[in-house]
Amino acid sequence: MPSINPLLQKRWSPISFTDRMLTDEEIETLFEAARWAPSSFNEQPWRYVYARKNDGEKREKLESLLSEGNAWSKKAPLLVMSVAKLTFTKNGKPNRHAQHDNGSAMENMFLQAASMGLFGHGMAGWDTAKAMEIFQIGDGYEPLTMMAFGEHNPTPTDPAAKEREAKPRTRKEQSEFVFHGEWKEMN
Ligand SMILES: Cc1cc2nc3c(=O)[nH]c(=O)nc-3n(C[C@H](O)[C@H](O)[C@H](O)COP(=O)(O)O)c2cc1C
């Protein structure tokens, strides 16, 4: 097996976080990493709404969107909602890579977090329709992913969290998704 960059190895998606709040500088650094992601026509179609654990009403609004299965993330020091701008600013045409480029920016944030001893965990399980409503997000924008950031707590009190985090991480073989000059249908 070829070995990959240690930063890529370090990144993973924990569900247990310590209580340590992220500093303003750390938060700004995570968004700075997003800022430098590549994007189609350099449109930079990512938008974020964030709230720290101690941000009161702002935080409650984000937490109210989370599914039950993602209740673990309510403990995270930082929650971030990503929203894609679906059209190009210069001509109003649909940007079919808006979601793709949001994903690039998310991974930039995750890798930046890992380099700072922090972790980010992406979530699809939340109410995007409610987000449109309570944040009054207009047409042309699509709420995409919620992200939880913080310092990992390696000794969670919840046994279920401990068990989940102890599960081995799995991946497909390269032969299942890399094809040399030909297309193959693979699940
Ligand atoms: C767009 C996206 C949505 C995800 N949604 C959820 C989610 O709703 N709940 C959850 O616990 N994990 C979620 N995950 C985390 C994945 O399950 C995780 O990345 C995957 O199992 C690989 O594990 P790793 O990140 O530790 O390598 C999501 C990840 C991404 C990128």
From 72, 110, 121, give the residue whose CB has the most ligand 1 atoms within 8 Å, as the site to mutate: 121
- Of 30, 60, 59, nearest to 46 by C-alpha is 30
38 lines ligand 1 (CB under 6 A): no
pLDDT (mean) for 74-97: 98
pLDDT (mean) for 69-73: 97
Fold adopted by 6-157: NADH Oxidase (3.40.109)
Check residue 187 and give its pLDDT.
87
Q: Express as a percent the part of the chain with pLDDT over 90.
A: 98
Rounded to whole angstroms, how far apart are CA atoms 57 and 24? Answer: 18
125 lines ligand 1 (CB under 6 A): yes
Q: In this predicted model, what pLDDT tens digit does every residue of 107-133 receive, in sequence order?
A: 999 999 999 999 999 999 999 999 999
Check residue 135 and give its pLDDT.
98
**Ligand 1 centre distance from Cα of residue 149 (Å):** 13
Check residue 60 and give its pLDDT.
98
Atom of ligand 1 nearest to the CA of 73: 11
Rounded to whole angstroms, how far apart are CA atoms 43 and 63? Answer: 29
How far from the centroid of its chain's Cα atoms is residue 8's Cα? 15
Strands (E), the chain: 46-52, 78-85, 119-123, 141-150
pLDDT (mean) for 149-158: 96
String of b and e for 13-51 (b: at least 16 CB within 10 Å)? ebbbbeeeebeeebbebbbebbeebebeeebbbbbbbbb
Check residue 113 and give its pLDDT.
98
**Ligand 1 centre distance from Cα of residue 126 (Å):** 13
**Ligand 1 centre distance from Cα of residue 122 (Å):** 5
- Of 84, 86, 94, 77, nearest to 34 by C-alpha is 84
100 lines ligand 1 (CB under 6 A): no
Q: In this predicted model, what pLDDT tens digit does every residue of 79-90 receive, in sequence order?
A: 999 999 999 999
Atom of ligand 1 nearest to the CA of 13: 26
**Ligand 1 centre distance from Cα of residue 147 (Å):** 10
Rounded to whole angstroms, how far apart are CA atoms 63 and 158? Answer: 20
Check residue 15 and give its pLDDT.
98
70 lines ligand 1 (CB under 6 A): yes
pLDDT (mean) for 14-38: 98
Asked whether the predicted pLDDT for residue 1 surpasses 90, the reply is: no
Cα dihedral sign, 100-106-110-111: positive
pLDDT (mean) for 157-166: 95
Amino acid at 110: F
